[in-house]
Structure 1
Amino acid sequence: MSAEVKTKKFVVVGGGIAGVTCAEQLASQFPSDEIVLITAAPLIKAVTNFKQISRTLEDFNVEEQPISVLEEKYPNLKVVQSAVRKLQGAQHTLQTEDGREFHYDKLCICSGGRPKLLTEDNPYVLGIRDTDSAQDFQKRLSKAKRIIVVGNGGIALELVYEVEGCEVIWVIKDKAIGNTFFDGGAAQFLIPSLQADKAERAGPCKRTRYTTEDASPTYSRAGVREERSIPSTGSALGPDWHADMTLQGAQQVSHKVHVEYRCEVQMIYTSEEHLLRASGQSPETGCMPPADSGPWPVFVQLKNGKTYGCDFIVSATGVIPNTGPFLSGNSFVLAEDLGLSVDDHMRTSVANVYAAGDVCTACWETSALWQQMRLWTQARQMGWHAARCIAADVLDEPIDLDFCFELFTHITKFFNYKVVLLGKFNAQGLGQDHELLVRCSPGAEYVKVVLAEGRMVGAVLIGETDLEETFENLMLNRMDLTAYKDELLNPNIDIEDYFD
């Protein structure tokens, strides 16, 4: 039976922030054309409460919504719930797992990333990436007395702080926590929060939450349950994914975290293998018997020689661009991190195929103060810019790289502190040719400024500092601060008025 073929001018793949933003922008700009958004999940991610804080700094919430909400908002936007089976770039066709085939004029791939797990197909290793895996984590945690979290990125930072009633062993390969976002000084500022009693939440999340009946089946547009031929993951979690989840373990302990620094996982084995090791019957030669004991279902041996038993392991070691369904038979150029290489118009190496978000890698000559990080803010910015570039191509109009790519900016929250990252906040790519200015008030704020050749090129702001807009302007203006650096972080000087 031949597949049903539908010709569409614009097709977007991915129900995450990049894909939804791109599809919404195209639907607004081309109201007489039908835009198709293909997503494997029954829920899409939408930007809500968007606030433009300054020229490049933006803040927003991410909300899960049924696909019907998007279709009601944009009558010319149709959402197809199915995984992608194959892309035939030369023929401009895209096949989905449910047997449909779409012919497109312009395609934007926003399929995100998938968890980079410690090991595949191990029932005791869980990667947290989408809503289903987060709910699985919550269910497992409710019966757990100890978990091991491996990784030092955003998901790991949130987990170790939010989990209650369960001992957490946190394994990181760096010498300080949060190495992706912070230096050692900021890490020391945050460490006391790991052991301190947390303030009570302001209250439960008030926004509507949508759930699916089951993690494995998919549903047709009519709501009929269908079998899925291959597994597919949903869109990545929002920045406040845990806000209305109860991350409570099986113990009465409040908040117990132990960090293993500069360490990696050497081996994972079951309780049966643990007994063999303890009795000296381990099949591996030169392997020390485990030091930890107890009725744990799984054990982790670290490269520093320590062994811990636990109920399950959270692998939070980053993501891999989800390019799988698109590569076979197509001449995509991949970057070193295996993302689809895109230019400053978000174009891939395949004609009329664009990409945005976690699946792609920015391979243009970037601004001196910008770098790609696979974060929510950049997913939205890339999706929006990709739609503008597609429109400019169709209308044969010139377009410049969006101003948001001039300066890296990101607002988030870690350990209940507001965190703002600007520019080369960790002195990325500067080598030894830079200077750091730091101001710290324990329990209140941490401010770090990165100077290069007398000019501010980066900053980390933790707490309610109210310095983000002033520092952004100083970076964009490239002002020489050599004469002012001794007073730049003086708490008795209103820096905003000083440079007004």
Structure 2
Amino acid sequence: MNATFVIIGGGIAGVTCAETLAFYQPDKKIILVSESSLIKTVTNLLALTQTITTFNVEEAPINTLSSKYENISVIHGKLRKISDEDKTILINSDIKITYEYLCICIGALPKLIPQAKDNPYILGIRDTDSVEQFISKLSSSKRVMIVGNGGIASELVYKIQNTDIDWVIKDNHISATFVDPGAGEFFQSSLHKNFNASEPILNKRMRYNEDSSSKSGAALGPDWYKHFQIKGACELPPQVKIHYQTEVTDVKINNVATSMFPVEVSLTNGEKINCDLVISATGVEPNIDFEISSSKLELSPVNEIIVNEFMQTSVPNIYAAGDVCHANWEHAKHWFPMKLWTQARQMGCYAAKCMSGALNKEEILQDFCFEIFTHTTRLFGYKVILLGLYNGQKLGNDYEILFRMTKEHEYLKLILQNGRLQGAVLIGDTDLEEMCENLILNQLDLSPYKEDLLDPNIDVEDYFD
């Protein structure tokens, strides 16, 4: 087989790359290789501001793309080897594909706690299959432990019903991957809200089953938990106990004849906790599981594929995008890389633009999305928007904070340096994201207005429109 463009990976980065290439190069053959029998497609893309977007991620059979785009073919298989001298790749053990341009978008795998090896009571949540397995095991559980402090861990703690939860985090506040201790405190009241467990969840999306031969699937979308009843076996509302600045040291399987719970977890604070299930949500690591005949593919210290400002790797005509790559260029002041669905989509789209430009010998300017960090999500039921250097990243201690909080309603934090806005955390329906984005990008001196920026009695958004 042969194609002008070959993309490896059926996740958000890979599918976005293929769809964008189909737009730029409708007459060129494109092959997408997906290890999963399902692919992830971005739908309902909505621009909130110039750079902030929200979208849904839907799973679909691999033939969806080929039926939508005449020049895209999709192959279900696993990348085994890249031979860059003759520009070929080997899929499974018998499919050889010749490419002109190759983009590696194989994502990342869950980084489970070390005790997870061969332990049936420790689960990682990564793709649709692992969620189904988790929900099945949770249905008979009365007490679970969640290890991790990122987005998936926070969503699970918030959404799990009818099960007591021990939440083990290595930080001194919750959701530290995204927010500061103040916002963590703001979220605390949401941990004890009583959901109506009998309320049915209306799912208007098509549901597909993963092919049983698949060993791993693409990452879950940003709203995966909205379409499942995540319930345990207790009849009472869940009790959440948070273990701060703590990590797991050991997980021991109990004798079922003498213990109510199948596992005993030992923590660094000396506690021993018995539970039915341990959920490891401790981040991801790059999925580098293939050979390359050339030794020139440059990797970061944590095995990410290093790319330049045009998403090119160190090997000619090979690009990379998404969680598998490391952005090794001089970043704009208000942007930094983070393993997020939003950046996977942006990188996939930009990689396609760069490959198309290389084929046409066109000059490519770096996409504007890399000028400012933006991320929008939902945590503990609240809309959350992060902009720029929202936690003072890169600024050391040389910045000041403007802050406003209304309990159970909104939380606003603005980061200023020399009177100019550098970042913002907006939790709740603040409607200030466009104003904050503009103020970060144009670096207007706000010194005369600082006292009024977060005054609820002043319509500051209209003032700076």
Structure 1 residue 148: deviation in Å? 0.7
Structure 1 residue 121: deviation in Å? 2.7
What does 1:86-101 correspond to in 2, within 5 Å?
Answer: 86-101=81-96
- The one-letter amino acid paired with 2:193 is A
- Closer, same or farther: CA 202–456 of 1 in aligned 2, 3 Å: farther
The reply to whether residue 10 of structure 1 matches residue 5 of structure 2 is yes
Match of 2:53 in 1: 58
Q: Distance in 1 between matches of 2:181 and 2:429?
A: 20
Structure 1 residue 319: deviation in Å? 0.2
Structure 1 residue 202: deviation in Å? 8.9
1:38-61: CA deviation from partner (whole Å, max 9, x where unpaired):
001111000100111111111111
- The one-letter amino acid paired with 1:352 is N
Q: 3-state DSSP class of the match of 1:72?
A: helix
Indicate if the aligned counterparts of 1:82 and 1:98 stay in contact, CA closer than 8 A.
Answer: no
Match of 1:79 in 2: 74
Match of 1:336 in 2: 301
Match of 2:446 in 1: 481
What does 1:25-44 correspond to in 2, within 5 Å?
Answer: 25-44=20-39
Structure 1 residue 90: deviation in Å? 2.5
Match of 1:347 in 2: 312
Alignment partner for residue 203 of structure 2, among 202, 205, 213? 205
The reply to whether residue 121 of structure 1 matches residue 118 of structure 2 is yes
1:60-116: CA deviation from partner (whole Å, max 9, x where unpaired):
111111112211110110000011111222221111115101111100000000000
What does 1:168-247 correspond to in 2, within 5 Å?
Answer: 168-198=165-195, 203-212=201-210, 216-218=212-214, 232-247=215-230
Match of 1:132 in 2: 129
Q: Percentage identity across aligned positions?
A: 48
- Closer, same or farther: CA 357–451 of 1 in aligned 2, 3 Å: same
The reply to whether residue 265 of structure 1 matches residue 230 of structure 2 is no
Alignment partner for residue 391 of structure 1, among 348, 356, 361? 356
The reply to whether residue 312 of structure 1 matches residue 277 of structure 2 is yes
Structure 1 residue 205: deviation in Å? 2.4
Structure 1 residue 203: deviation in Å? 4.8
Q: 3-state DSSP class of the match of 1:484?
A: helix
Q: 3-state DSSP class of the match of 1:378?
A: helix
Q: Distance in 1 between matches of 2:377 and 2:206?
A: 21
1:337-360: CA deviation from partner (whole Å, max 9, x where unpaired):
321111110001111110000000
Q: Distance in 2 between matches of 1:405 and 1:183?
A: 23
The reply to whether residue 413 of structure 1 matches residue 411 of structure 2 is no
Q: Distance in 2 between matches of 1:412 and 1:50?
A: 14
TM-score, scaled relative to structure 2: 0.96
The reply to whether residue 471 of structure 1 matches residue 447 of structure 2 is no
Q: Distance in 2 between matches of 1:320 and 1:143?
A: 30
Structure 1 residue 328: deviation in Å? 6.5
1:216-265: CA deviation from partner (whole Å, max 9, x where unpaired):
425xxxxxxxxxxxxx3100001111111110101112232110000111
Structure 1 residue 302: deviation in Å? 0.4
Question: Runs of 4 or more off by more than 3 Å in structure 1?
Answer: 198-203, 326-330
1:449-480: CA deviation from partner (whole Å, max 9, x where unpaired):
11112111111111000000000000000111
Q: 3-state DSSP class of the match of 2:448?
A: coil
TM-score, scaled relative to structure 1: 0.90
Alignment partner for residue 252 of structure 1, among 198, 210, 235? 235
Q: Distance in 1 between matches of 2:263 and 2:122?
A: 10
- Closer, same or farther: CA 496–171 of 1 in aligned 2, 3 Å: same
Indicate if the aligned counterparts of 1:54 and 1:469 stay in contact, CA closer than 8 A.
Answer: yes
Q: Distance in 1 between matches of 2:383 and 2:293?
A: 43
Unpaired segments ≥5 residues, structure 2: none
Structure 1 residue 7: deviation in Å? 2.1
Structure 1 residue 336: deviation in Å? 3.2
- The one-letter amino acid paired with 2:326 is T
- The one-letter amino acid paired with 1:321 is P
Indicate if the aligned counterparts of 2:80 and 2:289 stay in contact, CA closer than 8 A.
Answer: no
Structure 1 residue 206: deviation in Å? 1.4
Indicate if the aligned counterparts of 2:127 and 2:218 stay in contact, CA closer than 8 A.
Answer: yes
- The one-letter amino acid paired with 2:7 is V
The reply to whether residue 403 of structure 1 matches residue 401 of structure 2 is no
Indicate if the aligned counterparts of 1:10 and 1:36 stay in contact, CA closer than 8 A.
Answer: yes
Q: Distance in 2 between matches of 1:468 and 1:268?
A: 44
The reply to whether residue 146 of structure 1 matches residue 143 of structure 2 is yes
Q: 3-state DSSP class of the match of 2:450?
A: coil
Q: Distance in 2 between matches of 1:327 and 1:466?
A: 49
What is the CA RMSD across the aligned residues, in angstroms? 1.6
1:368-402: CA deviation from partner (whole Å, max 9, x where unpaired):
10011111110110000000000010100001110
Match of 2:460 in 1: 495
- The one-letter amino acid paired with 2:203 is C
Q: Distance in 1 between matches of 2:179 and 2:360?
A: 43
Q: Distance in 1 between matches of 2:162 and 2:200?
A: 20
Q: Distance in 2 between matches of 1:164 and 1:297?
A: 20
Match of 1:283 in 2: none
Q: Distance in 1 between matches of 2:358 and 2:426?
A: 39
Indicate if the aligned counterparts of 1:89 and 1:330 stay in contact, CA closer than 8 A.
Answer: no
The reply to whether residue 108 of structure 1 matches residue 103 of structure 2 is yes
